[in-house]
Every structure is written in structure tokens, then in C-alpha cells.
Amino acid sequence: MKQRGILLLPVALTLAIVAALAYGMTSEGSMNVSAVDAQYDVEVARYVAASGIQIAKWRAAKYHCDENRAKLGTLDVPGGSVTVTDANMARGILSVSVSSGTSRNAGTLQTASRSLPVYDFEVPARQATMIGGGDDDTTIVRIGSGPDKAMLEATEGNAHPLLSFRLPAELADKGSLIQATLKITKQSGNSTQANRALGVHRLTRDWNKDASWVWARKDVAWTTPGGDYAEPAVASVTIDPGNGATNGAYTLRIDSLVQGWADGSFPNYGMLLKPTRLVNALFVSFDGGNKPELTVRYFKRCR
């Protein structure tokens, strides 16, 4: 009997260890489930709070920039509820604070504050077409002289047109752009190469009508001859598709460029038109008949 008891001891110890491990795993699993549940509630409350901020912003914009409309009180949203605790508008910036909970835990799990630009969606979108003056465009030429002032020449490696447009005040004051379309008209050209194109690049240095291939303005040189511009092109258009020379209007969407000017992401120094496989392609300037145009649609910022 004594031997049998000694033989059973390892078995008993093994069972005890297994039982202890099983209990520990069960207990840890229970704790993990609780922790996951708690974290889940926190994450849901965070998204509920973000939703509440966007709803407050939308209500202020929808109702003619009314900050009181952003003070929506408590609102039930999928997953929980959010309360706007404060909202104030100053110079088109809505400062809003919220608290939020979840459907399972109605207490305050998250608080958040944001300052956001608000646009007047109650008023129909504005539209404006800008045409520059005679001092707002030129052609910089590496060799030789530029074309007649009524024309802008585009020749790869030798001639780059420069254009400048002044945005409407409401858009330039951090408005919200919907669409920006540049229209340029080709008058003539000698190009016969395939894959002819014209790209629009953001200029990164100020210039004036007297700019040249080397100089941006008097006593101020380009960092790189041929103009200082950002890569890649914000838009590009194929010129003269097919076998024959196609003259007429070409349009390009340059939304990102104009929105950057409007919100102050970069200065409005205008644009450079960079040709690819083009030789002596002539486009009408601001001094010609079918002038370059920039048409914009936008919402004004709340005041």
C-alpha cells in the first residue's frame, strides 16, 4: 500500500499542476476578455466623439455659419451617444468640444476638442472666371527672342510660358475649392513629334513681365535656368492628338494647385507651362483674342 501511494503521488501532483494551469488560464482569459471589452468601449467612444465633432461642423455650415446650431446637446449615434459641451465660431473657425460614451457604457469614456474651418454651405457655390492682364504672363526663352506679346511659345528645352491669376477674395481667404479649370488656346505650331504634351507646374519663385530664362526679375535669378517650379506637374494635356496639327482650346483640371493657393499651403506665384516634344507651339496670351482663363467653383469660408 505504501508503494502504491508513492506511485500515485506523481500522478496527483501532475493533476494538481494541470488543474492550477487550467484555473490560471481561465482566470487570465476572463481578465483578457474584460480588458478587451473595456478597450473596445474606449475605441468606440473615440469614433463616436469624432463623429459628433463632424456633425457639429456640418450643422454650423448647413445653417449659414450659425455656431448655435453646432451646440446640438446630446445626440444618439450608432454605437453610443455624444454631447457637445462647447462650440464657438471666430473668423470662420469652429472650436468644438465633445464628450462621448457607448451603448454599453453611457458614462463619459472620451472627450475631444477640435478647431475646424467651416464653409457656408447655405449659400450656393460661387463661380468666377479670371483672366490676367498684360503683365501677368510672359515666355522665357533660352535661345533667341520670345514671340509677339499676343502669343506664348512652348518649345521643349527652350521656351516656357508663365501665367499668373489673381483668385477671388472669397476663395483666396481660405475658401473651399470645388473645381478649377485652366483653358488655354493653341494658335499654331510646327511640332510633328508623337506624344506631344503640355504640363502645368507650380512656380516656386516670384517673377515679373521682364523675366528671362536666367532671371526671374531684375537682380533676382532663378535657382535653375528655365524657371523654379515644383515637380511633378499638377496636370498635363496631350497637344495635337492624331496626325494633323490641332489648334483650339485645351482644358486642364488644376484643383490641387488652386486649393493650395487658397488655403495658404504655398504662395501664389502662378504657373509654368512645361512642353514635352513640342517645337514652337504658340498659345494665345493675355494680350491676344482667346485669352487664357481660370474658372473656379468654390464655397466661401464663414466669417
| The pLDDT of residue 13 is above 50 | no
Measured at the alpha carbon of residue 181, what is the angle toward residues 178 and 182, in degrees to the nearest 5?
Answer: 150
CA distance 196 to 218: 33
The average pLDDT across 128-149 equals 92
Over the Cα atoms of the chain, what is R_g?
Answer: 32
- Cell numbers for 15, please give them: 493533476
| The pLDDT of residue 182 is above 80 | yes
Q: What is the pTM of this model?
A: 0.75
CA distance 266 to 268: 7
CA distance readout (Å), 288 to 35, 128, 186, 240: 72, 21, 11, 21
- Cell numbers for 297, please give them: 467653383
CA distance 175 to 298: 7
Does an H or E element contain 24, and which?
Answer: helix 2-62
- Cell numbers for 64, please give them: 449659414
Ranges 142-156, 165-179, 184-198: which has the least confidence: 184-198
The average pLDDT across 112-120 equals 91
Q: In this predicted model, what pLDDT tens digit does every residue of 274-299 receive, in sequence order?
A: 999 988 899 999 999 999 999 999 99
Q: How many CB atoms lie within 10 A of CB 175?
A: 25
The Cβ-side half-sphere exposure at 252, using a 13 Å CA radius, reads 22
Does an H or E element contain 86, and which?
Answer: strand 80-90
Does an H or E element contain 43, and which?
Answer: helix 2-62
> What pLDDT was estimated at residue 17?
46
CA distance readout (Å), 249 to 133, 162, 283: 19, 17, 9
Q: Which of 163, 142, 242, 138 is nearest to 196 (CA)?
A: 242
- Cell numbers for 196, please give them: 506631344
Q: In this predicted model, what pLDDT tens digit does every residue of 248-264 receive, in sequence order?
A: 899 999 999 999 999 99
> What pLDDT was estimated at residue 29?
53
**Which residue ranges form the domains of the chain, and what is each CATH number?**
2-117 (no CATH), 126-299 (2.60.120)
The average pLDDT across 152-163 equals 96
In this prediction, residue 53 has a pLDDT band, given cuts at 50, 70 and 90, of very high
The better pLDDT of the pair 167, 14 is held by 167
